[in-house]
Amino acid sequence: MSVRIKAVVDRFVKELKEALDADIQDRIMKEREMQSYIEEREREVAEREAAWKAELSRREAEIARQEARLKIERENLEKEKSVLMGTASSQDNQDGALEITVSGEKYRCLRFSKAKK
């Protein structure tokens, strides 16, 4: 009888070891699959982040170009205004002439006439 009990116990231990080995192998495979999934997701996130940073950099460069262009346009406008507008000041001269300064040059106007259309 002890031989039978030993055989049953040996068979039980063998089956238990096989079940444990199968469970361990299953867990190892699941862990590998999970690690592979995590690595793939990290790669996707890194790609999206790189694309986002590239787009952000491109937009920042475009904004800088537009700001530089606007600055130049503003400077040109100020120059045009100073040339076109000049500085006009009415003089209390005895002759009643209007004195206009444009780009540092002084002009005197003694008589005015209506502009032709």
Q: Domain residue spans in the chain?
A: 1-84, 85-116
Least reliable range by pLDDT among 3-17, 23-37, 70-84: 70-84
Q: Encoding tokens for residue 56?
A: 């952000």
Reported confidence tier of residue 78, pLDDT bands at 50, 70, 90:
confident
Specify the pLDDT at position 36.
96
Residue 79 pLDDT more than 60?
A: yes
Residue 57 pLDDT more than 70?
A: yes
Specify the pLDDT at position 104.
67
Q: In this predicted model, which residue has the larger pLDDT, 4 or 62?
A: 62
What DSSP assignment string belongs to 67-99?
A: HHHHHHHHHHHHHHHHHHH-EEEE---TT--EE
Residue 74 pLDDT more than 80?
A: yes
Distance of alpha carbon 114 from alpha carbon 117, whole angstroms: 9
Specify the pLDDT at position 73.
94
pLDDT digits (tens, 9 = 90+) for 93-105: 566 677 776 666 7
Q: Please check whether residue 71 is in contact with residue 57, taking contact to mean a CB–CB distance below 8 angstroms.
A: no
Percent of the chain with pLDDT over 70: 74
Distance of alpha carbon 88 from alpha carbon 81, whole angstroms: 13
